[in-house]
Every structure is written in structure tokens, then in C-alpha cells.
Structure 1
Amino acid sequence: MSVLPYPPAPELGWYEDDPQFDTTPQAHNDDSQQNLHDNHIEDWDSTVLSSSFTAKNPQIAYVLHNDVTGQDIVIKTSTLLGRKPSLDVPQGAQSARIDDPTRTISRNHAAISIDANGSLWIEDYGSLNGTYILHDGQETQVLKDSPVEITVPTSIRLGDLFFELTQQSD
């Protein structure tokens, strides 16, 4: 049986809706990088942190600490957590990259949010290895699209990494 090669791609202009390119030289525009971002196509597969969980002026800061990596993440506002979290978060929120030697944390794994009343919430963002709250020796799974209110101090498991969430001391 012989293998047939793929046919060549059609040349530009073959179809009516093909873009037309001007081949005359153009002067370099310093705003060209900005124009690239103005015409970007939204990433429909990205995670968006809800602005309703964004406290405008939180009074308290928290620290999410991992003993294995020694990483401390300061949480002063609603925070998207992940191995490589999206930078596209609502105004007033932040994203924080988690050092993950276990490779069990998703790119956009979970979010810790501070609501307008100052209450803390955690929500899983459809992670593969789950988000859990540990309380009195019991592990409770946090489900996608079901934020759970948390009290501090508490232990949280993201994938295979355990974190202690405490109030930051002044």
C-alpha cells in the first residue's frame, strides 16, 4: 500500500474570504505591538475570576504557606491559584503561580476570594486532582462552581500539595 502525500495548501486568493495583503512597503509603526493586542481573539478556554468575589478594600491579609516548597503566597485580594494561572482576572484581583514539584496542580486550579463582607471563600476551577479543605481530621472536597466559605486558620490541599492558610501578622 502506498502513502499518498497531502495536497499543497491552497494559494492565497483562492477563496473569496481570503485576506488580501498589501505588498507595498510600509513605514514601521511603534504602536504595532499595541495593535496586535487590540485585535486579539479571546481565549474561550481560559478561566475568569468572578468580579462579585472581589473585595474592594480588604482590611486583612492572609498567607498561604506550603512547607514542602517553602512558598508563601500573600492574599490581600481575591486570588486565582495555579501552576500557570491566567493573568486575565478582574480588576482588583490577582493571580498567583504555585511552585508544584508534584505536577498535580492545574494551570488554573482554584481561587480564594474575599467577598464584600470580608469573608473568605475557596472554589475549585475544574482541576484534575481536586481542591480539599482539611478540618478536624476530615477532608472535604470543594466542587467546581460551588464556592465554600472558609475560616482561618485552615489547611487546604491542592492536588498533592498541602497548604496552611493563616492571617498575616503585622
Structure 2
Amino acid sequence: MSALPYPPPPELGWYDEDATVMPQQTAETQPAANAQPVASAGTTTAANPPTTAEIAQTTAQPTTASQDDDDIDWEGTVLSTAFTASAPKQEYELYNEQTGQRIIVDTGVLLGRKPSQDLPQGVKAVKLDDPTRTISRNHAAISFDKDGLLWIEDYDSLNGTYIIRDNTETKVEHERMRLQAPCTIRIGDQFFTFEQR
């Protein structure tokens, strides 16, 4: 089996950067010592320096199409906000008055009686004290989105996850729900106050 032929390198001028690279002059490419510079239309030689009017005309000329295209391409490129902005740094606290347990929520957190440790980067597992044995192994999760908004999700726990605000209890089920502090979160039979620090 013969080796695959590789294409030849691109010719000079293929890339935009090539225009700014001056080729090295060798003995073959250097002009002869007695050769006179040849002036073409619109150019000057050392014997005829450019006038102020010619300099102004040269600098006032419009840019080439390739330079315009580069500017258009760059201006038209919009990076995703996931690359250009990260979620605001915020810190919240879950506090269970009955057990005295305090949990800092400053990143995604999986809550449970014995939560899984096999988690994506940036998510932490927190073991909840469970004196009433009503908390599931992987019970619920709190997460931030890229805009810094908080969400809570129940993982099909046996005794449910609830958000309590203004004496109204809302069950978190089937899909994640928006979470806003301050409120109370009931996980199983354990009540946690949830506040921003």
C-alpha cells in the first residue's frame, strides 16, 4: 500500500497573514547594485519624493474588499453567552433548625440521605441529617443556570420535595421549578430555611 499523497503547501498569498510577511531576499532576488528603480503609475522613487497631496490621497483611499470582508466576518461573529458570560457568583444557605445542619449553596448541589458521589464537575453532593428517615438516597437537587437563576428538582423521592412561601406549600414534581430566596424547603419531613447570604 502506497502512502497517501499530501497536498502541497498553499501558495504565498493564500492566507491573509501572508500579505504582511515580507519574503527574505536572497542573492538571486536582490536587485543589482547598478539597477535603477522603475517608477510605475502612481508610485514614486527616491529621486521624486511624494508630495503632501499624494500622501493624503493614498491614505484616503478606501480599503480593499478583503479587508472589508474580514471586518464583516468578525463583526458578524457572535459568541454564545455561555462562553462570554458566567453566572453571577451568589451564595445561599439551607438551614435545618431541628438538626442544626447548615449547607452553603454556591454551586449545583445534590441533596439526599446518601447521595451519589459520581457527579459532573461543578456539582457537589451533600448528605442530609435524617432523624425521621423520610429522606431518599438521592432526594433533590438545587442548581444555577447561566444567568444565575436558581432551580430545584425532585428525583422521584418517596416523601417529596416542597417549596413553602406565604403559607402556601407547592410540590416540586415532574420537572424542575424556579427557586427564589427567602423561602422554606421541605425535604421529606425536614424543613430548611433558604436564604441568600
| One of 165, 168, 172 as aligned partner of 1:142 | 172
- Identify unmatched segments of 5+ residues in structure 1: 1-54
The residue number in structure 1 matching 2:113 is 83
**C-alpha spacing 1:84/1:151, structure 2 compared with 1 (3 Å):** same
Aligned ranges 1:1-170 → 2 under 5 Å = 58-144=88-174, 146-168=175-197
C-alpha RMSD of matched pairs (Å): 1.7
SS in 1 for 2:143: strand
TM-score (norm 2): 0.56
Deviation string 1:85-105 (CA, Å, 9 cap, x unpaired) is 001111111110101101000
Q: CA deviation at 1:112?
A: 0.5
SS in 1 for 2:107: coil
**C-alpha spacing 1:142/1:167, structure 2 compared with 1 (3 Å):** same
Q: CA deviation at 1:68?
A: 0.2
The structure whose Rg is larger is 2
SS in 1 for 2:147: coil
Q: CA deviation at 1:135?
A: 1.2
> Percent sequence identity over matched residues?
56
The residue number in structure 2 matching 1:45 is none
**C-alpha spacing 1:99/1:56, structure 2 compared with 1 (3 Å):** farther
Q: CA deviation at 1:58?
A: 4.5
How far apart, in 2, do the equivalents of 1:138 and 1:153 lie? 14
Q: CA deviation at 1:57?
A: 5.2
How far apart, in 2, do the equivalents of 1:58 and 1:160 lie? 32
Supply the AA of the counterpart residue of 2:183: T
Normalized per residue, the structure richer in helix is: 2
**C-alpha spacing 1:56/1:109, structure 2 compared with 1 (3 Å):** farther
The residue number in structure 1 matching 2:49 is none
**C-alpha spacing 1:102/1:118, structure 2 compared with 1 (3 Å):** same
Query: Which protein, 1 or 2, shows the higher relative CO under an 8 Å CA cutoff with sep ≥ 6?
Result: 1
Q: Does structure 1 conserve the Cα–Cα contact (< 8 Å) formed by 2:134 and 2:159?
A: yes
